[in-house]
Amino acid sequence: MTRKFFGTDGVRGRVGESPITPDWVLHLGFAAGRILASQAIGARPTVLIGKDTRISGYMLESALEAGFSAAGVDVLLVGPMPTPGVAFLTRAMRLSAGVMISASHNPYDDNGIKFFSGEGTKLPDAVETAIEAEMTKPLACRPSAQLGKVRRINDAQGRYLEFCKSSFPARLDLRGMKVVVDCAHGAAYDIAPNLFWELGAEVTPIGVSPNGTNINDGVGATHTEAMALKVKEVGADLGIALDGDGDRLMMCDASGRVFDGDQLLYAIVKDRVLAGAWRGGVAGTLMTNFGLERRFADMGIAFARAKVGDRYVLELLAERGWEVGGENSGHILCLDKHSTGDGTISALQVLAALARQQSSLADFTADLHMYPQRLINVRTPIELDLAATPSIQATVREAEGTLAQKGRVLLRASGTEPVIRVMVEGEDKELVDRLAETIANAVRQAAAQALQ
């Protein structure tokens, strides 16, 4: 069965439009509960539900809660919680599954549902397919005596904060360091600033006043200019920017220079190599900068690319038996620290590396030479078959010929937004920018023609 609703990161869409409607999410909770109940042995299954700070989270939380209860599944509610916090609590409390209500870096009027297994990892595609199949059956209800019960966990944030702190070396602290922490008015707005403060840093928080509609609005990992400006304004040593659900990370140094996921991943790997603690290889994605791949080759470190999406990075790591991987978008996985990507824990690994090596972020990553890369997101009101659109393919072939094997072109449909992502990478920045714009225009024209 082909999945209709689940994308690379759960179900996502505009609130009030299918599938992000209260009746559909109610049915989703019931269907997921039925699948969990069919797999349960002995005790009644229990799921944990967290959410980010979107106003629609209240509505969707209630709908999911009702669906699970109708299926005979107990529910634990934790309120606003970063996505990796939901994964941690699900695993730590030995639950059947975890559910996060979030659309990650998307605007507030989008929302989504993502599931975690009892091990704190993303659900396999096969389980998501089984849930979709279950949704073709009528919504029902267990007898009253078998309905699920609901309980709120009041100390969930404190449990997760201590877990994050445990990933930072006990012999190190952040005393004498001044940091800006940008939480994107999202799920980490309370936890992250307190975490870095407890480790000794002087913290200037921004993006910590959620009102239900300002999540990711001009702040956070997808709008790093706010972090960079504040770092320079207050004279901070570093900036740390998370996205709305706390699983992405971007950082900047005292000059305001922004470092993306590829560069931060390199800092983590290099530190482990220097400490004699490295083993295995690194997993990236099709979007990983070629400069990072070349640098790892120079270091004798194996590197492999997965499809775009942190779930596919995780699958590749599991397949190879490796521990570290990530995306240039800021999803970084350190499987010896957590079962999923975690922006806060990733930031702690970078800070630990700089403290151990007594170096600045710029100096520590100076031997990594990134290829100029241009990414353009082309919003398309209609689905395009890229491979079957001659005008797009001809433009791509021409660009690849111009690059003459000294760069690459990648086009893909986003799994989380109605956009085509156009990426061009090469040695010459001006050429890369020009070719990316040319291809993006070809995609826009093809979409316009398809609508006629």
Query: CATH no. for residue 322?
Result: 3.40.120.10
- The answer to whether position 288 is within a domain reads yes
pLDDT per position as a tens digit, 174-184: 999 999 999 99
Q: What is the pLDDT of residue 7?
A: 79
Least confident of 124-128, 139-143, 285-289, 360-364: 124-128
The answer to whether position 169 is within a domain reads no
Q: What is the pLDDT averaged over residues 24-48?
A: 90
pLDDT band at 30 (very low <50, low <70, confident <90, very high): very high
> Does residue 161 belong to any structural domain of this protein?
no
* 139 and 17 co-located in one domain: yes
Q: What is the pLDDT of residue 388?
A: 85
Band of pLDDT at residue 385, cut at 50, 70 and 90? confident
Q: Flag whether 243 is in a domain.
A: yes
> What does the alpha-carbon distance between residue 350 and residue 168 come to, in Å, rounded to a whole number?
10
Q: Is the pLDDT of residue 450 over 60?
A: yes
- State how many domains the chain has: 4
Give buried/exposed letters for 256-278 (b at 16+ CB in 10 A, else e): bebbbbbbbbbbbbbbbeeeeeb
CATH, residue 385:
3.30.310.50
With bands split at pLDDT 50, 70 and 90, how would you rate the model's confidence at 26? very high
* Banded model confidence at residue 9, pLDDT cuts 50, 70, 90: confident
The answer to whether residue 72 scores a pLDDT higher than 60 is yes
**Which is more confidently placed, 405 or 56?**
56
**Identity of the residue numbered 437:** E
| 210 lies in the same domain as 283 | no
- 26 and 142 part of one domain: yes
| Residue 167 counted as domain residue | no
Query: Catalytic positions, please?
Result: 104
Comparing CA positions, the residue from 261, 234, 6 lying closest to residue 126 is 6
The domain boundary, picked from 202, 236, 257, lies at 257
pLDDT of residue 386: 87
Per-residue pLDDT band at 2 (split at 50, 70, 90): low
- 123 pLDDT band (50/70/90 cuts)? confident
The average pLDDT across 144-152 equals 96
Question: Is residue 168 included in any domain, yes or no?
Answer: no
C-alpha to C-alpha distance for 448 and 452, rounded to whole angstroms: 7
Residues 308 and 408 in one domain: no
- For residues 36 and 132, state if they share a domain: yes
Q: Give the single-character DSSP code of 146.
A: G
Q: Which of 310, 342, 364 is the last residue of a domain?
A: 364
Containing 3, the helix (H) or strand (E) segment is: none
Q: What average pLDDT does the structure give for the chain? A: 94
32 in the same domain as 145: yes
236, 257, 278 - which closes a domain: 257
* Inter-CA distances, 394 with 241, 387, 389, 406, 445, Å: 39, 10, 9, 19, 13
Residues 149 and 15 placed together within one structural domain of the fold: yes
Question: CB of 330 within 8 A of CB of 250?
Answer: yes
* Claim to verify: residue 188 and residue 265 sit in the same structural domain: no
pTM of the model: 0.90
Residue 160 lies in a domain: no
What range defines the domain where residue 313 resides? Answer: 260-364
pLDDT at residue number 42: 65
308-336 pLDDT, tens digit per residue, is: 888 899 999 999 999 999 999 999 999 99
Rounded mean pLDDT, 272-293 = 94
Percentage of the chain with pLDDT > 70?
A: 98
Q: Are residues 36 and 131 in the same domain?
A: yes
pLDDT tens string 367-382? 999 999 999 999 887 7
Do 237 and 176 contact (CB within 8 A), yes or no?
A: no
Number of alpha helices (DSSP H) and beta strands (DSSP E) in the chain:
14, 18
Average pLDDT over residues 147-156: 96
**Does residue 435 have a pLDDT over 70?**
yes
Residues 289 and 303 in one domain: yes
Average pLDDT over residues 223-235: 98
Residue 258 pairs with which residues in a beta bridge? 252
Return the pLDDT at 122. 86
Q: Which two tokens stand for residue 392?
A: 């797009």
200 and 267, same domain (yes or no): no
Q: What average pLDDT does this structure show over 400-423? A: 87
Give the mean model confidence (pLDDT) for residues 248-266.
98
pLDDT band at 118 (very low <50, low <70, confident <90, very high): very high
Report whether the peptide linkage leading into residue 19 is cis, meaning its omega lies within 30 degrees of zero: yes
Q: Is residue 3 part of a domain?
A: no
Do 36 and 134 belong to one domain?
A: yes
